[in-house]
């Protein structure tokens, strides 16, 4: 290959042909649809099996019964009220957990002294299954909101703390040096270099923290609550109403996924530069 054709090839690398973007758009729509095939098929098959009388569907209600249960719960207002209560608990626990984890994680990532001081203790605490705290929290904080929110906050804390600390430690020092060469002040350094560098890992940490928050709210409510989606689970169990249990599970899944999506959506404009990498 001559030098001239080499440079032409190099220049063409920068532009993306139109048909390739169109193809990308198509796969972007088709890919999620593919994921729906399995659950939808299973639901349809189960509905069919129950309708045909091959199974009673009493313990595993078919989709139509679950849907009817949803409608009933929504009509009575139970669904909305309990969802809001659970959402409120997750929000409070997530907020507290993230706030503390971000501050502690940032300090530990930034300063080796603080890291050596705090990290061993935190790692030791992390080894405790968080549910094991429940009796202590109940003794300290009572059986109402405070102990539930604390449990959720503890669950959220660890993934966020680890994510923030790791992200700050792995900021590319060569880029920090660029900031120094351009004489950025400490505040500018944080805003223009550290924050953007840390953001992708932070969003991932927030999302895994939120996932744990939902896990722990379910646990906390199952251990005793008079309202919330977890209460619906308990209620369904005690009254022998599997449709109510499944409806509550579905509500958990939908609201959990929606909050996760909300974080991803809010962060997307700041992470667009990362997409370029993924599409390659």
Side-chain half-sphere CA neighbours of 20 within 13 A:
5
Nearer to other proteins, 126 or 192 (CB): 192
Cβ at position 186, least distance to other proteins in Å? 14
Site string for other proteins, 175-204 (x = CB under 8 A): x-xx-xxxxx---x---xx--xx-x-----
> Does an H or E element contain 27, and which?
helix 18-51
Cβ at position 184, least distance to other proteins in Å? 8
Extract long-range pairs of 62-68: CB within 8 Å, 24+ residues apart: 65/243, 66/243, 66/246, 66/247, 66/250, 68/243
Stretch that binds other proteins, among 28-36, 121-129, 243-251, 268-276 (CB under 8 A): 268-276
Residue 66 CA to its chain's centroid (Å): 26
Q: Which residues contact 223 (CB under 8 A, 6 or more apart)?
A: 134
Window 20 to 59, contacts with other proteins (CB under 8 A): none
Site for other proteins contains 1 (CB under 8 A):
no
Cβ at position 268, least distance to other proteins in Å? 13
Nearer to other proteins, 96 or 184 (CB): 184
Site for other proteins contains 8 (CB under 8 A):
no
Cβ at position 23, least distance to other proteins in Å? 18
Helix-then-strand count for the chain, H and E: 13, 0
Stretch that binds other proteins, among 8-16, 111-119, 156-164, 212-220 (CB under 8 A): 8-16
Stretch that binds other proteins, among 115-123, 129-137, 138-146, 172-180 (CB under 8 A): 172-180
Cβ at position 3, least distance to other proteins in Å? 5
Residues in the chain: 280
Site for other proteins contains 126 (CB under 8 A):
no
Nearer to other proteins, 93 or 163 (CB): 163
Instruction: Return residues touching other proteins (CB under 8 A).
Output: 3, 6-7, 10, 13-14, 174-175, 177-178, 180-184, 188, 192-193, 196-197, 199, 270, 273, 276-277, 280
């Amino acid at each position: 290959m001559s030098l001239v054709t080499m440079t032409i090839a190099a220049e063409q690398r920068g532009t993306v042909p139109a048909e390739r973007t169109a193809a990308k758009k198509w796969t972007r729509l088709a890919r999620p649809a593919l994921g729906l095939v399995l659950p939808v098929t299973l639901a349809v098959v189960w509905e069919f099996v129950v309708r045909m009388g091959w199974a009673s569907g009493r313990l595993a209600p078919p989709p139509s019964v679950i849907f009817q249960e949803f409608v009933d719960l929504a009509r009575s207002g139970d669904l909305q009220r309990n969802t809001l209560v659970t959402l409120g608990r997750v929000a409070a626990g997530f907020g507290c957990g993230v706030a503390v984890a971000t501050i502690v994680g940032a300090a530990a990532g930034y300063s080796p002294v603080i890291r050596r001081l705090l990290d061993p203790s935190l790692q030791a605490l992390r080894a405790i299954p968080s549910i094991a705290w429940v009796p202590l929290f109940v003794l300290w904080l009572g059986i109402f909101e405070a102990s539930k929110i604390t449990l959720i906050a503890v669950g959220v804390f660890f993934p966020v703390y680890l994510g923030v600390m790791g992200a700050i430690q792995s900021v590319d020092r060569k880029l920090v040096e660029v900031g120094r060469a351009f004489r950025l002040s400490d505040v500018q350094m944080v805003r223009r270099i550290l924050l953007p560098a840390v953001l992708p890992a932070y969003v991932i940490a927030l999302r895994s923290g939120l996932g744990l928050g939902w896990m722990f709210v379910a646990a906390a409510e199952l251990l005793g609550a008079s309202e919330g989606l977890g209460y619906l689970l308990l209620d369904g169990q005690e009254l022998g109403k599997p449709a109510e249990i499944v409806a509550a599970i579905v509500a958990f899944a939908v609201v959990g996924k929606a909050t996760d999506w909300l974080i991803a959506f809010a962060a997307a404009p700041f992470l667009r530069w990362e997409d370029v990498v993924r599409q390659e």
